[in-house]
Chains A and B, each alone.
Chain A
């Protein structure tokens, strides 16, 4: 648990800073630290705190140079594995790319779900569409490339893999990820009737819960 410091704070125009971090884990820790300081009232006003894969963007900052100097002195503790809320996502492992992913992983088609759901995940960052979270947690040996040809339509609820990330499509969009399963009811992923419309916010922990095989009806 060695405290770490961000590698570099870069200007992004007159009112924003982009903080470069060495890896996803320390990006998550730094993001969590920002939220702690914001909650404690010790962070100057920042309109948007936007984590990326290895960066955190601070946008809408009145005095970015001053904040950049302060950030450079922060000791950021590592993030505990059990820090943050947990969300469970039920999955039917029935995606059209299941066989392809099974071949890449060197496992049987019916083992993909057990493998995928055995790891704890965390939302690293959001983007692409409202409610779309990029989830880290899959070990490096199970990372798979995007499809050569993106699909023109990926259905809402598709559980998908690309590179280090897992994701669940909150709504139907074009997409190039490998589809391994389906969240039967994807409406909670982005629900504007809730005060917090996104289910998967940066830092949230995620568990995929396989649906019992009896419920698989065989249609993709």
Chain B
């Protein structure tokens, strides 16, 4: 019989995530998937889950869950207090949750997104090969609500020992290495210098679609409209207000604002954990 997980407290925004949907961008389907993929991968590894097991991604305020049978979980990613029926429990390592007990992943003490992985994975029906919630186009399960019941898969592997699990600390300063292009020529020659020398900060309006920034606006030489073109993950798109937006996993597949540069994908995991106000340094490389 399938083990069920009841959502006791859904938190500000908790979604089901895995590695997302690849190869459908030409149909207008974003990649989606966990924003901090290394954190998801580590949580799954600690449980002996398959790499494509779906997990829960929380936002700032965590979530609380109650399984109807005993399950093993890992809460990782952004550090947060973990409790089992109100008693402190381990963060960042496998934890046994007895049947009917409430696992609460609390508000983050740093970072943005905690991950709750469960042995066997969240077994909602996949859509286009992925169980991920895509907030831009609405594919996959809706964000969790209190009272939702999630099916779990059968635990596949044996949990690995938690020694030396390298959970990186959320960034105090976010460094985003980027390569200029494809539309750097839409900006003044000073714009790349501004981008890489000024301090930007993470805007509170950031979400799974993009990391919005506050800082000096980047000026364009060309004010015309860019015909819609394909957008990649990590694209630094500059809307008319001149404040760069770094596209994250739920980004639109095509867009009409010029992209001054593209941030390397490995740096985006830290971007997913950079809280509002975190200083950002864009570097060339």
Main secondary structure of the interface of A (DSSP, over half): strand
On whether A11 and B23 interact (CB within 8 A), knowing A52-B227, A134-B228, the answer reads: no
Partner of A52, one of B179, B228, B234: B228
Closest to B252 in A: A127
A197, B182: Cβ atoms closer than 8 Å: no
- Residues from chain A with a CB closer than 8 A to the CB of B25 are 48, 50, 57, 59
Q: Is A63 an interface residue (CB 8 A)?
A: no
On whether A127 and B182 interact (CB within 8 A), knowing A48-B26, A59-B230, the answer reads: no
B27, A16: Cβ atoms closer than 8 Å: no
Q: Is A216 an interface residue (CB 8 A)?
A: no
B57 to chain A, nearest CB (A): 21
Main secondary structure of the interface of B (DSSP, over half): loop
Q: Complex Cα distance A4/B6, Å?
A: 59
Most buried by A among B231, B234, B264: B231
- Per the CB 8 Å criterion, the residue count for chain B at the interface is 34
Q: Is A130 an interface residue (CB 8 A)?
A: yes
On whether A130 and B28 interact (CB within 8 A), knowing A13-B234, A59-B232, the answer reads: yes
B30 to chain A, nearest CB (A): 9
- Residues from chain B with a CB closer than 8 A to the CB of A57 are 25, 229-232
Q: Is B196 an interface residue (CB 8 A)?
A: no
- Residues from chain A with a CB closer than 8 A to the CB of B229 are 18, 52-55, 57
Closest to A57 in B: B230
Q: Complex Cα distance A201/B28, Å?
A: 10
Encode contact with B along A8-27: 1 for CB under 8 Å, 0 otherwise: 00111111101000000000
- Residues from chain B with a CB closer than 8 A to the CB of A59 are 25, 230, 232
- Residues from chain B with a CB closer than 8 A to the CB of A127 are 28, 228, 252-255
B182, A125: Cβ atoms closer than 8 Å: no
User: Considering the complex, which residues of chain B in the window 162-210 have a beta carbon less than 8 Å from any beta carbon of chain A?
Assistant: 178-179, 181-183
Partner of A125, one of B29, B127, B139, B228: B228
- Residues from chain B with a CB closer than 8 A to the CB of A10 are 181-183
Partner of A13, one of B22, B183, B232: B232
On whether A13 and B179 interact (CB within 8 A), knowing A48-B25, A127-B28, the answer reads: yes
On whether A54 and B230 interact (CB within 8 A), knowing A60-B22, A126-B28, the answer reads: no
Encode contact with A along B52-86: 1 for CB under 8 Å, 0 otherwise: 00000000000000000000000000000000000
Q: Complex Cα distance A14/B22, Å?
A: 17
- Residues from chain B with a CB closer than 8 A to the CB of A60 are 22
Q: Is B117 an interface residue (CB 8 A)?
A: no
B137, A129: Cβ atoms closer than 8 Å: yes
On whether A13 and B264 interact (CB within 8 A), knowing A126-B253, A129-B137, the answer reads: yes
- Residues from chain B with a CB closer than 8 A to the CB of A54 are 227, 229
Closest to B22 in A: A47
Q: Complex Cα distance A52/B255, Å?
A: 9
A54 to chain B, nearest CB (A): 5
- Residues from chain A with a CB closer than 8 A to the CB of B245 are none
Q: Is A157 an interface residue (CB 8 A)?
A: no
Q: Is A51 an interface residue (CB 8 A)?
A: yes
- Residues from chain A with a CB closer than 8 A to the CB of B178 are 13
- Residues from chain B with a CB closer than 8 A to the CB of A81 are none
A13, B235: Cβ atoms closer than 8 Å: yes
Q: Complex Cα distance A11/B180, Å?
A: 8
Most buried by A among B23, B127, B230, B231: B230
A11, B252: Cβ atoms closer than 8 Å: no
A12, B27: Cβ atoms closer than 8 Å: no
Q: Is B39 an interface residue (CB 8 A)?
A: no
Q: List 26 A-B contacts (CB under 8 A).
A: A11-B181, A11-B182, A12-B232, A12-B235, A13-B179, A13-B262, A13-B263, A13-B265, A14-B264, A15-B265, A18-B181, A18-B229, A48-B23, A48-B25, A52-B229, A52-B230, A53-B227, A56-B230, A57-B230, A127-B253, A130-B24, A130-B27, A132-B28, A134-B228, A192-B127, A198-B27
Q: Which 6 A-B pairs have the closest CB atoms?
A: A57-B230, A13-B262, A53-B227, A127-B254, A50-B230, A52-B229
Known: A11-B182, A47-B22, A127-B252. 17 other contacts (CB 8 A): A10-B181, A12-B181, A12-B235, A13-B178, A16-B232, A18-B181, A48-B22, A53-B227, A59-B232, A60-B22, A126-B26, A126-B253, A128-B28, A132-B28, A197-B27, A197-B128, A198-B27
